[in-house]
A = this chain, B = another copy of it.
Amino acid sequence: MESKVGRPRSERAREAVLHAVDDLLVEVGYAAVTMKGIAERAGVSRQTVYRWWSTKAEILLEASATDAEEELTVTPTDDPLADLTTYLQALINFLAHSHAGSAYRALIGEAQHDPEVAQLLAGKDILGSSARAVITRAVPTYDTPEALELATARLIGPTFFAIMTGRDPRQLDPQALARTFFA
């Protein structure tokens, strides 16, 4: 239950923070994004940032989650192979080239040594859920949770591995990857 008395939360401040974090990520990179920097860029006091978010990971997640979902949504056709290919192309673009993607990679990275970030990400399985949607439609026989989980890892894993370990994304061929999924 939210209190009704007192000055209400400033929507202006909230948006300013989210935009600031987005801008800063592009301009200076994740590592150089600081709570102090966000506050100054947003023209907002530091206390205000801390009042609503406790880490930069939280802000980043809120700032890029919707973008991520959009970028990974594929409009289905009747051709399963084409759908998977399209999805993989979107995945490559997302991870290797988009702002939301680099935020996501930074968060995954942070999660490797920060349990709080790990838990934060566990609640929003962005990659997994988008992949499951595509797989369920393309191969309806993967209907048990275990099969679906394995299929998800097989679909996303190779691309995810290649990009996270710094391989050249131009070498990735979405169609070839899609074919090996069916093989």
Q: Which positions in A face B, CB cutoff 8 Å?
A: 29-31, 102, 105-106, 108-114, 118, 121-122, 125, 127-128, 146, 149-150, 153-154, 156-162, 164-167, 171, 176-177, 180, 183
A selection of 16 A-B contacts at a CB cut-off of 8 Å is A30-B113, A31-B113, A108-B112, A109-B109, A109-B111, A109-B112, A111-B166, A122-B166, A146-B171, A149-B167, A153-B161, A154-B154, A154-B157, A154-B158, A160-B160, A161-B161
Q: What does DSSP make chain A's interface, helix, strand, loop or mixed?
A: helix
A21 shortest CB reach to chain B, Å: 13
What is the minimal beta-carbon distance from A102 to any residue of chain B, in angstroms?
A: 8
CA gap between A110 and B142 in the complex, in Å: 35
A176-B144 Cα distance, complex, nearest whole Å: 15
- Given the complex, which residues of B lie within 8 Å of A106, measured CB to CB? 112-113
Most buried by B among A102, A112, A146, A159: A112
* Contact among B109, B154, B167 for A113, CB-based, below 8 A: B109
